[in-house]
Amino acid sequence: MSGLESNQTTIRGSVMIAGGGVGGMQAAIDLADSGFKVHMVQKDSSIGGTMVMLDKTFPTGDCSMCMISPKMVEVGRHPDIKLHTLAEVVSIDGGPGNYRVRVKLQPRYVDAEKCTGCGICEEKCPKKVTSEYEQGLTVRKAIYSLYPQALPNTRAIDRDNCIYFQKGKCKACEKFCPSDAIIWDDSEQDIELNVGAVILSPGLERYDAGMRQELGYGRWPNVVSSIQFERILSASGPFMGEVMRPGDHKHPEKIAWIQCVGSRDSHNANPWCSSVCCMYTTKQAVIAKEHDASIQPTIFYMDIRAFGKDFDKYVNRAKEEYAVRYQRAMISTVREEPGTGNLILRYAEPDGKLVDETFDMVVLSIGFQPHKEAVAFAKTFGIELNEHRFPKTDPFVPVETTRPGIYATGIYQGPKDIPETVMQGSAVAGRAMALLSEARGSETTVIEPPAIKDVKDEEPRIGVFVCHCGINIASVVDIETVVNHAKTLPHVVYAGNNLFTCAQDSQEQMKAIIKEHGINRVVVAACSPKTHEAIFMDTIEECGVNKYLFEMANIRNQDSWVHSATPEVATAKAGELVQGAVARAASLSPLDEKKIPVIQRGLVIGGGVAGMNAALGLADQGFEVVLVEKEADLGGLATRLTATIEGADIKTYLNDLIEKVAGHPKIQVLTDALVTGFTGFKGNFTTEVIVGTGMYERKIEHGVVILATGANEYVPTEYLYGQNQNVMTQIELAERIEQSGAEDLNQVVMIQCIGSRNEGNPNCSRVCCQSAVKNALRIKKLRPEANVYILYRDMRTYGLMEDYYMEARGLGILFFPYDPDNPPAAESAENGVVVSFQDQMTGRQLKVRADVLALSAGMTPEDTEELANILKLARNAEGFFVEAHVKLRPVDMATEGIFICGTAHSPKLISESVSQALAAASRATTILSKTQLTLSAVTAEVEQDRCASCLICVRSCPYGVPRINEDGVSEIDAALCHGCGICACECPAKAIELNWYKDDQIICKIDALLEGAV
């Protein structure tokens, strides 16, 4: 007993993550990159979650698998992430800092150590089973991997369907397995994990569309769920990306999407909004149309909830460029037309007229709900749930459950889209890091860098790996022709192809091939080096090949995607691109990466809720933070807010937060401070700041930057604002109610989308619908006899906020949709305003005299033009900072070492700002937690014998890096060099070369690409 007690006082440097979807993966990567050991416990035989099932993602149309695949590989190859699949937590005891978790592992019946993932067993298995991953649209085998790129790729035997297990005969898998990996007597195992913190990211399950019998799912074959439609669209799906009806494999033209199946419906389904369906539906409609131009998509909806960054722009494009029809209507029934397989949808038009319309195919946009076993799951972990069986969390600490040291993230915490899930994945990691900071590095592995073979004097031996990228490439380019062409090229000793070269199994295969053929230079002909180069470089390094002896040919983005209309030409071009890559590969020489020290101090720009949380996120881990605020006081926009929609008191929270920040020994707050200069690179930045009324200059050295410059409420020019004192914004209304109650409010009108979703700002400001509902509810509660009218375009009370919208409707708050082409009008009246608008149900013009007209003003970003110039950061047209990648890098900026959070990124709620702030702190810690960083070897180098000391490099470098040294020749510090190559280009003596882009390495590629032209 005493042993256990002493154990509990020890803080452990490890974290268990239950659930291996994209959010769990992000948390795992952040933690592992920041010095913590991660145990990922996944119920399925592979990690991946929902995202691996998706075809494309909105709003960029990026391929989902292409994005998540590299992340999975990163998880799979990280020395400090241990995967436990087919695993479930049985019990947990201990406390924050030291939990003991018992995990039950289901037998896999395949030895992961022996299995190479070749898949022969799967091919030979005679038993066909409905595929869960393909949503029942096709079959898998009884020995299987969840999906082709599964991680781990070790197959598992599905005992319930295995012929041998059920009938005692077969063993085909064992017979054909080349590695002797089948274990028939594999059994359940119990393991114990000792970890400091626990992260819950088990995700949600999808609503069973069959519950809505009137919609005909499961009855009419051409009614599919939205997740089935994802698979139908997917190039690797059951129909290879061809849009077909499951019933008869005919190409549908008219496709209807029915929204809110399983969401916003407390009778048949769930009362909440699932937050993502409006956008994925829009995406499916657009992509379907891209696949087949004859498709006419119609979306039946209640409200289009395109509330995220740039989402409305996407919906507008869907309407304008893809002719997607949005019809506001609830579908009462779906019937099959006898004989045709077509479907007749009955719905009421806005004026109440009933219509029957026939479609070729129907997609039900199903929502999310907690797993059936959510209550038991919560009980196992000892956490409380809310009334909807989501974990109970606080709006100000949205990732903390009711049990300290146990965190909830992703859609498990509440419905959300991929970027928010990724963001929250980082956020939970940040909280866990803060809890366990003293044990950082105590459980991580120290790996010796692999011994790199010296190939300097070897003849180039090039291996070429051509990727099908599913059918992204292979459907256009004839891979075999490309492989055969590659075999004829100089120095090529191996050429082969893979379905997905980036998948874990292919990577392992690649390593084996490299060793077998003594390959010393690698060419991968696949997708973009921007996303995949690093992965392949690491792979080749693992087998002793210097990672710079690598080149990619982008035969997808630069070929199959853009020349799909001319497959033969595309195949020829792929060959030429490979030829260029091979020529370059032959010319490459190994490069060494230098290490530089990290300044373990963070700079946070902006002292609002996001900035302060980010600062605390770092400071609580023991890192010094300098917080720069341009105003005289901390607080930002939140100083004007009173309460959240949940009723949480913002003022008290904010005061506590300011106190914590101001009193934190690791945080230095500079107010009245303006950033005037910025230099350096990830791990080593110097920022110049002018501080205080005295305008004294400060130079801050730091390793990371977190941007949290915030936003303001839009100042309306519409509806008599500023002219009539009874016209005010929602923030002003909340302040007014706070100060003087609602006694004098008999009639209140609110108009939504002021300064949002218009020409000047095409996007939704996300928070205004809930602001309106929040204030309306507050008025109604203080003065039940008051009449509140909300004039809206789409009510966007997404996620669990739908409760409040329903409550508002229940309390008699009146909601009238308006058409933006026929907006409400207002005129001043005695002691108030008269608002007139059209009621769409009756078509009649209504007039309401209001004591207060509240304008739901949108959000405008702080003026950051100068800051953006100084830091060289991109902003979108509306002035919000642009993150590195909208889906998977939502808090990273394109410049490494700079992170973004809060409303500087896009409009958001306080709870969302807090999440993103914690996420930014977590991402920043992946740098700050290291004492040194490895630099890219792509830097400029001077051949000093040839240097004429002309100073042209000194004069042309954008960063002032080159200098003429004591020997009178130019010298370039690799740690400072950004690798642009301008000096190398301008040098008149041709004495400077940019490593990896040396003149001959570029010229030989040009020559190869132009071979035979003259």
User: Considering the rule CB under 8 A, would residue 562 count as an interface residue with another protein?
Assistant: yes
Question: Token pair for residue 98?
Answer: 């030291």
Residue from 293, 822, 872, 967 binding another protein (CB under 8 A): 872
Within residues 517-546, the interface with another protein by CB under 8 A covers 529
Q: Which stretch binds another protein (CB under 8 A): 542-550, 622-630, 853-861, 987-995?
A: 987-995
Output the smallest distance, CB 538 to another protein, in A.
20
Q: Among all chains, which residue has been given the structure tokens 């592979």? A: 46
Q: How far apart are CA 483 and CA 494, in angstroms?
A: 9
User: Considering the rule CB under 8 A, would residue 999 count as an interface residue with another protein?
Assistant: yes
Residue from 674, 950, 964, 975 binding another protein (CB under 8 A): 950
User: Considering the rule CB under 8 A, would residue 561 count as an interface residue with another protein?
Assistant: yes
Output the smallest distance, CB 566 to another protein, in A.
6
User: Considering the rule CB under 8 A, would residue 252 count as an interface residue with another protein?
Assistant: no
User: Considering the rule CB under 8 A, would residue 874 count as an interface residue with another protein?
Assistant: yes
Output the smallest distance, CB 990 to another protein, in A.
4
Output the smallest distance, CB 42 to another protein, in A.
34
Quick one: 271 or 567, whose CB is closer to another protein? 567
Quick one: 806 or 975, whose CB is closer to another protein? 975
Residue 685 contacts residue 705 (beta carbons within 8 Å): yes
Cis geometry, peptide bond prior to residue 597 (ω within 30 degrees of 0): no
User: Considering the rule CB under 8 A, would residue 956 count as an interface residue with another protein?
Assistant: yes
Residue from 140, 563, 774, 778 binding another protein (CB under 8 A): 563
Burial class (CB within 10 angstroms; exposed 0-12, middle 13-18, buried 19+) of 491: middle
Residue 341 contacts residue 250 (beta carbons within 8 Å): yes
Residue from 84, 305, 573, 780 binding another protein (CB under 8 A): 573
Q: How many CB atoms lie within 10 A of CB 814?
A: 16
Quick one: 184 or 959, whose CB is closer to another protein? 959
User: Considering the rule CB under 8 A, would residue 76 count as an interface residue with another protein?
Assistant: no
- The residue length of the chain stands at 1014
The candidate with the shortest Cα–Cα distance to 117, out of 162, 67, 181, 65, is 181
| Helices 504-517 and 529-542: angle between axes, nearest 10 degrees | 50
Q: Among all chains, which residue has been given the structure tokens 């492989």? A: 483
| Helices 567-587 and 999-1009: angle between axes, nearest 10 degrees | 150
User: Considering the rule CB under 8 A, would residue 959 count as an interface residue with another protein?
Assistant: yes
Quick one: 127 or 1005, whose CB is closer to another protein? 1005
Helix (H) or strand (E) holding 885: strand 883-885
Quick one: 168 or 988, whose CB is closer to another protein? 988
Number of residues that bind another protein (CB under 8 A): 57
Burial class (CB within 10 angstroms; exposed 0-12, middle 13-18, buried 19+) of 949: middle
User: Considering the rule CB under 8 A, would residue 513 count as an interface residue with another protein?
Assistant: no
- Give whole-number Cα distances, 334 to 207, 339, 359, 744, in Å: 18, 15, 10, 49
Quick one: 1 or 1014, whose CB is closer to another protein? 1014
Q: Among all chains, which residue has been given the structure tokens 């882009």? A: 997
Q: How far apart are CA 550 and CA 532, in angstroms?
A: 12
Within residues 282-321, the interface with another protein by CB under 8 A covers 290
Within residues 178-237, the interface with another protein by CB under 8 A covers none
Site string for another protein, 889-918 (x = CB under 8 A): -----x------------------------
Output the smallest distance, CB 833 to another protein, in A.
42
What three-state secondary structure class fits 967? coil
Q: Which stretch binds another protein (CB under 8 A): 137-145, 154-162, 238-246, 576-584?
A: 576-584
Burial class (CB within 10 angstroms; exposed 0-12, middle 13-18, buried 19+) of 349: exposed
User: Considering the rule CB under 8 A, would residue 565 count as an interface residue with another protein?
Assistant: yes
Q: How far apart are CA 582 and CA 572, in angstroms?
A: 15
- Give whole-number Cα distances, 905 to 377, 544, 899, in Å: 34, 41, 10
Quick one: 385 or 954, whose CB is closer to another protein? 954
Residue 49 contacts residue 19 (beta carbons within 8 Å): yes
Quick one: 576 or 878, whose CB is closer to another protein? 576
Output the smallest distance, CB 1003 to another protein, in A.
6
User: Considering the rule CB under 8 A, would residue 354 count as an interface residue with another protein?
Assistant: no
Output the smallest distance, CB 980 to another protein, in A.
4
Quick one: 206 or 887, whose CB is closer to another protein? 887
User: Considering the rule CB under 8 A, would residue 487 count as an interface residue with another protein?
Assistant: no
Output the smallest distance, CB 537 to another protein, in A.
15
* CA angle centred on 24, ends 889 and 920, rounded to 5°: 40
Q: Which stretch binds another protein (CB under 8 A): 340-348, 777-785, 827-835, 992-1000?
A: 992-1000
Q: Would you give the end-to-end CA distance of the chain in angstroms?
A: 84
User: Considering the rule CB under 8 A, would residue 879 count as an interface residue with another protein?
Assistant: no
User: Considering the rule CB under 8 A, would residue 564 count as an interface residue with another protein?
Assistant: yes
User: Considering the rule CB under 8 A, would residue 987 count as an interface residue with another protein?
Assistant: yes
Q: Which stretch binds another protein (CB under 8 A): 248-256, 378-386, 539-547, 562-570?
A: 562-570
User: Considering the rule CB under 8 A, would residue 982 count as an interface residue with another protein?
Assistant: yes
Residue from 253, 646, 896, 1007 binding another protein (CB under 8 A): 1007
Output the smallest distance, CB 470 to another protein, in A.
14
Sign of the CA dihedral 109, 114, 116, 121? negative
User: Considering the rule CB under 8 A, would residue 680 count as an interface residue with another protein?
Assistant: no
Q: How far apart are CA 122 and CA 665, in angstroms?
A: 59
User: Considering the rule CB under 8 A, would residue 994 count as an interface residue with another protein?
Assistant: yes
Nearby residues of 984 by Cβ (< 8 Å), 6 or more positions away: 940, 992, 993, 994, 997, 999
User: Considering the rule CB under 8 A, would residue 44 count as an interface residue with another protein?
Assistant: no
Taking 3-state DSSP, the helix, strand and coil percentages for the chain, each rounded to the nearest 5, stand at: 30, 25, 45
Residue from 847, 948, 967, 973 binding another protein (CB under 8 A): 948
Q: How far apart are CA 661 and CA 608, in angstroms?
A: 11
The candidate with the shortest Cα–Cα distance to 306, out of 237, 259, 354, is 259
Residue from 7, 566, 652, 822 binding another protein (CB under 8 A): 566
Bridge-based pairing state of the strands 814-817 and 787-792? parallel
Residue 700 contacts residue 626 (beta carbons within 8 Å): yes
Output the smallest distance, CB 235 to another protein, in A.
12
Quick one: 107 or 979, whose CB is closer to another protein? 979
Quick one: 310 or 713, whose CB is closer to another protein? 310
Q: How far apart are CA 428 and CA 409, in angstroms?
A: 7
Over its C-alpha atoms, the chain yields an Rg (Å, rounded) of 30
What three-state secondary structure class fits 882? coil
Residue 764 contacts residue 757 (beta carbons within 8 Å): yes
Quick one: 354 or 1013, whose CB is closer to another protein? 1013
User: Considering the rule CB under 8 A, would residue 877 count as an interface residue with another protein?
Assistant: no
Output the smallest distance, CB 808 to another protein, in A.
39
Q: Among all chains, which residue has been given the structure tokens 């992000």? A: 26
Residue 542 contacts residue 570 (beta carbons within 8 Å): no
Q: Which stretch binds another protein (CB under 8 A): 111-119, 402-410, 568-576, 586-594?
A: 568-576
| Residue numbers at the binding site for another protein (CB under 8 A) | 61, 290, 529, 554, 558, 561-566, 569-570, 573, 576-577, 580, 872, 874, 894, 938, 946, 948-952, 955-956, 958-959, 978-982, 984-991, 994, 997, 999, 1002-1003, 1005-1007, 1009-1010, 1012-1014
